[in-house]
Amino acid sequence: MEQMLSEAEDCHAAARADTVFLFVGETSDSSVESKDRKDTLLPELQLRLIERVSAANPRTVVIANVGHAYDAS
């Protein structure tokens, strides 16, 4: 069972770490060939997580597991 951290917990954990390796990506229902995408963005929750964690620790490495090009701006 996955355990999700609260926003305060993920920032606190990130700030205490030497380096953060943050894995993001698609869900099994968003990464299918028979479905058109509205855009090339990661889900909003993941974008906010990247912003919070990288603000708490500038030594953050983001690893994206996606099956297509995506907007990383």
Tens-level pLDDT at each residue, the chain (73 residues):
456 678 788 889 999 999 999 999 876 666 556 566 677 788 888 899 999 999 999 999 999 988 777 777 7
Angle between helices 7-16 and 44-56 (to 10 degrees): 40
Quote the pLDDT of residue 65. Answer: 87
Give the chain's domain count: 1
Within a domain: 4? yes
Q: CB under 8 Å to 10, separation ≥6 — which residues?
A: 49, 52, 53, 56
Q: Where are the alpha helices (DSSP H) in the chain?
A: 7-16, 44-56
Instruction: For residue 1, give its domain range.
Output: 1-29+37-65
Does residue 72 form part of some domain?
no
How large a percentage of the chain has pLDDT more than 90? Answer: 38
**Is 20 part of any domain?**
yes
Is 47 part of a structural domain of the chain?
Answer: yes
Looking at residue 18, its pLDDT comes to 97
